[in-house]
C-alpha cells in the first residue's frame, strides 16, 4: 500500500479507534488519556510508519528484530518510540536491547538476563514489561500466571521479582495476550487476572507497577475496561497485513 493509501485509511480508522477507547474508558471510570496507542506496523512497509507519524502517533510497535532494525534506521531522528512487542530469540537480545525504546515481551528469565547484560553493555537501562501467560494456553508465551492458587500467584510474583532485580532492566509493568476466542468472558478474565497480578506485584523491589500492555484489534475495548494503559493495534488501524 502507498503512503496516500495508508494516510487515507488512518484518517478513517484512527478517529473511530479513539472514540472506542474513550467510550471503553468512560464505562470503567477511567481517563481516555491514560491509554496509549501503540501502532503495530509489522508486516507493513515504512510508508505505514510515515503515515502513523503523520497522524500524530509516536508509539510504533514491531514484532521482529530485523524489521525493527530496518525501520529504526529509516526513521532515525524522527522521535519514534519503538515498542518491541514480539518474542525475542536470545541471540537477538543485544540488537533488541539497543534499538527498542521499550520491550513488551520479556517472557523468560534467560531472555531477561541476556537483555540486561546487553543493555548494560550499551550503557542504558532498558524499560521492559514482563509478559505473562494469564490464559494458560500452551501456545502463549510468558511467565505462567494462569492459576488462581496461592502457589501459582507466588510463582508469577517470583518471576517478576527476578526480572526486576536485573541491573540493566527497568521493569515498568506487565504485558499479556488474550486467547483467540469470541468468548468475551474468557478474554475479560485473562485481562482482569493480569491487572490483579500487577496490583499484587506493586510492592516488589525494583518493579514499577505502572503499565499494562493489553488489547489488540479484536479485544482492545475489553482490555481498556480492565485497566490497559497500552493497546497494541495493527489491523484495525492499518488494515490487513500483506502476505
Ligand X SMILES: *Cc1c(COP(=O)(O)O)cnc(C)c1O
Quick one: 25 or 233, whose CB is closer to ligand X? 233
In angstroms, the CA 222 to CA 214 distance is: 9
Quick one: 63 or 108, whose CB is closer to ligand X? 63
Quick one: 101 or 236, whose CB is closer to ligand X? 236
User: CB of residue 205 vs ligand X: minimum separation in angstroms?
Assistant: 28
CA distances from 172 to 16, 103, 205 (A): 29, 10, 12
User: CB of residue 237 vs ligand X: minimum separation in angstroms?
Assistant: 8
Cβ-count burial 18-33 (b if 16+ within 10 Å, e if not): eeebbebbeeeebeee
User: CB of residue 63 vs ligand X: minimum separation in angstroms?
Assistant: 4
Quick one: 169 or 177, whose CB is closer to ligand X? 177
User: CB of residue 142 vs ligand X: minimum separation in angstroms?
Assistant: 11
The residue number whose beta carbon is nearest to ligand X equals 234
Q: Look at residues 180, 207, 234 and name the one whose alpha carbon lies nearest to residue 60.
A: 234
Quick one: 55 or 233, whose CB is closer to ligand X? 233
Ramachandran bin of 141, using left for φ above 0, alpha for ψ from -120 to 50, beta for the remaining angles: beta
Cβ-contact 96, 88 below 8 angstroms: yes
User: CB of residue 62 vs ligand X: minimum separation in angstroms?
Assistant: 9
User: CB of residue 238 vs ligand X: minimum separation in angstroms?
Assistant: 8
Q: Look at residues 151, 164, 146 and name the one whose alpha carbon lies nearest to residue 201.
A: 164
Quick one: 12 or 158, whose CB is closer to ligand X? 12
Residues in touch with ligand X (CB under 6 A): 40, 42, 63, 85-86, 216-217, 232-236
Ramachandran bin of 108, using left for φ above 0, alpha for ψ from -120 to 50, beta for the remaining angles: beta
Amino acid at each position: 500500500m502507498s503512503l496516500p493509501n495508508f494516510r487515507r485509511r488512518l484518517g478513517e480508522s484512527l478517529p473511530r479507534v479513539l472514540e472506542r477507547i474513550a467510550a471503553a474508558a468512560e464505562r470503567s471510570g477511567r481517563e481516555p488519556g491514560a491509554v496509549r496507542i501503540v501502532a503495530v506496523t509489522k508486516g507493513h512497509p515504512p510508508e505505514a510508519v510515515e503515515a502513523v507519524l503523520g497522524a500524530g502517533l509516536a508509539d510504533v510497535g514491531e514484532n521482529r528484530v530485523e524489521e525493527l532494525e530496518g525501520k529504526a534506521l529509516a526513521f532515525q531522528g524522527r522521535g519514534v518510540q519503538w515498542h518491541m512487542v514480539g518474542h525475542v530469540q536470545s541471540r537477538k537480545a543485544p540488537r533488541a536491547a539497543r534499538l527498542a525504546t521499550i520491550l513488551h515481551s520479556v517472557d523468560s528469565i534467560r531472555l531477561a538476563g541476556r537483555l540486561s547484560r546487553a543493555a548494560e553493555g550499551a550503557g542504558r537501562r532498558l524499560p521492559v514489561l514482563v509478559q505473562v501467560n494469564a490464559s494458560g494456553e500452551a501456545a502463549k508465551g510468558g511467565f505462567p500466571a494462569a492459576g488462581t492458587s496461592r502457589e501459582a500467584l507466588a510463582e508469577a510474583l517470583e518471576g517478576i521479582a527476578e526480572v526486576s532485580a536485573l541491573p540493566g532492566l527497568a521493569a515498568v509493568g506487565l504485558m499479556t495476550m488474550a486467547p483467540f476466542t469470541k468468548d468475551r468472558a474468557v478474554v475479560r478474565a485473562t485481562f482482569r487476572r493480569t491487572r490483579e497480578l500487577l496490583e499484587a506485584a506493586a510492592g516488589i523491589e525494583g518493579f514499577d507497577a505502572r503499565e499494562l500492555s493489553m488489547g489488540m484489534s479484536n479485544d482492545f475495548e475489553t482490555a481498556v475496561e480492565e485497566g490497559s494503559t497500552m493497546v497494541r493495534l495493527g489491523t484495525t488501524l492499518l488494515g490487513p497485513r500483506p502476505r
